[in-house]
Amino acid sequence: MKKYLIIGNGIAGTTAAEEIRKNDAQGEITLIAKESLPLYSRIRLPDFLCGKISEKELIIKNQEWHDKKNITLMAGVEIERIDFQAKKVFTNSNDMKTLTFDSLLLSVGSRSFIPPVTGNDIAGVMALRDINDARVIIKKIETKTTISKEMVVIGGGLLGIEVGAALIHAGIKVTVIECFNRLLPRQLDYKGAQLLQRLLENMGFVFRLEEAAEEIIGEISQNAQKLASVIKGLKIKPQVKGVKLKSGSLINAEAVLFSAGVRPDLSLVLNSEIKTDKAVVVNERMETSTPSIYAAGDVAEYQGVNFCIWSEAMEQGRVAGINMSGGSAEYKNIPPSNILKVAGIAVASAGDIDVDGKMDSDIVSTGSVYKKIVKDNNGKIVGCIMVGDTTDFNKIFKQIKGE
């Protein structure tokens, strides 16, 4: 009986486990999750922050699903190290369990990128990547111990805007700092981003575009100073009081949220024989440079590309699972696509969005809707942007993919 070990239970790892079970009814599948929950939607974490859904409603594949598929889910377990040649994984759980495998999938995902800004380690600086981060932010909002009036979000990407919307809903002033000249620079061109910005400003957002944080200013309160003088050796971190921009401006803030993108988590392959570049390098079968070791999702890089998006991770997990269990499948890079709700505003984009306006485009622009269909020299649709109305997006995306 073959032993399959999957590290990381995001959409890539869980999809791989499901594909393995389809091809191998008897194999032993173990899915290791660093977090306490089974597969859940990171995309919906802002809805959880807003109180629109419960923690339970985040879950996509519950424990019952794993039991029915005969997939062992080890939740809340961290990996200490991996011996790829001996095919052993060492956990740092209470019993220091050692697991063996015949085939291993690395689907550990990515980590929030915290830019090297002075003061990025003081109290009140946060990021939102997983359920634990969300729980911390919710507690701070509810208790108003850290966040009660003003917050700065560094990064004008999707997650930062969504979290900002949740904070505005809680009565907190939110200023978003973005180094680009527009919001969602990976998904929108200037005109689309301009419309989105206007709609968001109507909700209460304040944006500082083409700006960058130089320093996060901290201060130790008088009460904390008194406490430190009484308790010898007590170390107290400064609390966020503002953000200084490179332009010289100072923005008041009680907390700072970094939403500056993600980086693949390569901690388990450092100093190993596994080949890496920006992420773990894989071939079209999702195989790494070491036999029987596969990678998929945010941690994997194929032909120099890693979009770190849900659809890419799911497809890579599917291909990896098939090949791990004796089947044959090849991964092909697909055009990046996103269909989103940004603070309740429908946004979608796919393929080549032609930011520089060098290609032929069909554009519809009204007060609350912006649509752009991008075509190549042969008239083939190669990209699209939709803000305010995403009707027919799936139909157009199929044309972009050539289906």
Q: 219 versus 95: which is more confidently predicted?
A: 219
Q: In sequence order, which ranges of 109-254 are alpha helices (DSSP H)?
A: 131-143, 158-169, 190-201, 222-230
Beta strand residue intervals within 47-187, DSSP E: 71-75, 79-83, 88-91, 98-100, 103-106, 110-112, 125-127, 150-154, 173-178
Average pLDDT over residues 392-402: 90
> Cβ neighbours of residue 82 under 8 Å, at least 6 residues apart?
7, 88, 89, 90, 104, 268, 269, 272
pLDDT of the residue at 234: 56
Helices 310-324, 11-23: axis angle to 10 degrees equals 30
Q: In angstroms, rounded to a whole number, what is the distance separating the alpha carbons of residues 119 and 10?
A: 31
172 and 193 in contact (C-beta within 8 Å)? no
CATH number listed for the domain at residues 125-258: 3.50.50.60
Q: What is the pLDDT, as a whole number, of residue 232?
A: 60
Q: Which SS3 state, helix, strand or coil, does residue 305 take?
A: strand
pLDDT higher than 70, residue 270: yes
Residues 52, 56, 59, 65: is their CA dihedral positive or negative? negative
CA 308 to chain CA centroid, nearest Å: 7
- The mean pLDDT value of the chain amounts to 90
pLDDT band at 182 (very low <50, low <70, confident <90, very high): very high
**pLDDT at position 28:** 98
CA distance 313 to 6: 14
Q: What angle do CA 323, 329, 335 make, to 5 degrees?
A: 125
Which CATH superfamily is 3-111+262-324 part of? FAD/NAD(P)-binding domain (3.50.50.60)
DSSP-based three-state secondary structure for 15 = helix
Q: Which residue, 162, 186, 192, 188, is CA-closest to 176? A: 162
Among 58-72, 143-157, 184-198, 254-268, top mean pLDDT goes to: 58-72
CB 167 within 8 A of CB 142: no
Q: How does residue 50 score in pLDDT terms, banded at 50, 70 and 90?
A: confident
Q: Where are the domains of the chain?
A: 3-111+262-324, 125-258, 337-401
Q: Taking the CB of residue 76, how many other CB atoms lie within 10 A of it?
A: 11
For residue 237, what pLDDT is reported?
A: 73
For residue range 306-326, list pLDDT tens digits in order: 888 888 999 999 999 999 999
pLDDT band at 39, cuts 50/70/90?
very high
**pLDDT surpassing 80 at residue 254:** yes
154-167 per-position pLDDT tens digit:
988 777 888 888 78
Do the first three CATH levels of 3-111+262-324 and 125-258 match, i.e. the same topology? yes
Q: Is the pLDDT of residue 95 over 80?
A: no
pLDDT of 144 higher than 80: no
Q: Residue written as tokens 């180094």?
A: 179
Average pLDDT over residues 213-230: 72
**Regarding predicted confidence, which is higher, 86 or 236?**
86
Average pLDDT on 348-357 reads 92
Q: Do 277 and 306 touch, CB atoms closer than 8 A?
A: no
CA atoms within 13 A on the CB side of 53: 15
Structure tokens at 274: 């596994």
Please give the residue that has the higher pLDDT: either 34 or 143.
34
Q: Are strands 293-295 and 103-106 parallel, antiparallel or unpaired?
A: parallel
Structure confidence at residue 147 (pLDDT): 57
* Tokens 């649509």 found at: 371
**Residue 371 vs residue 162, higher pLDDT:** 371
Q: Which CATH class is domain 337-401?
A: alpha beta
Tokens standing for residue 107? 């689907």
pLDDT of residue 190: 94
Q: For residue 401, give the H/E element and its range.
A: helix 393-401
Say yes or no to pLDDT of 76 above 60: yes
Looking at residues 211-215, what average pLDDT do you find? 94
Residue 303 in tokens = 């032909």
Phi, psi of 192 (to 5 degrees): -65, -40
Read off the DSSP letter of residue 121: T
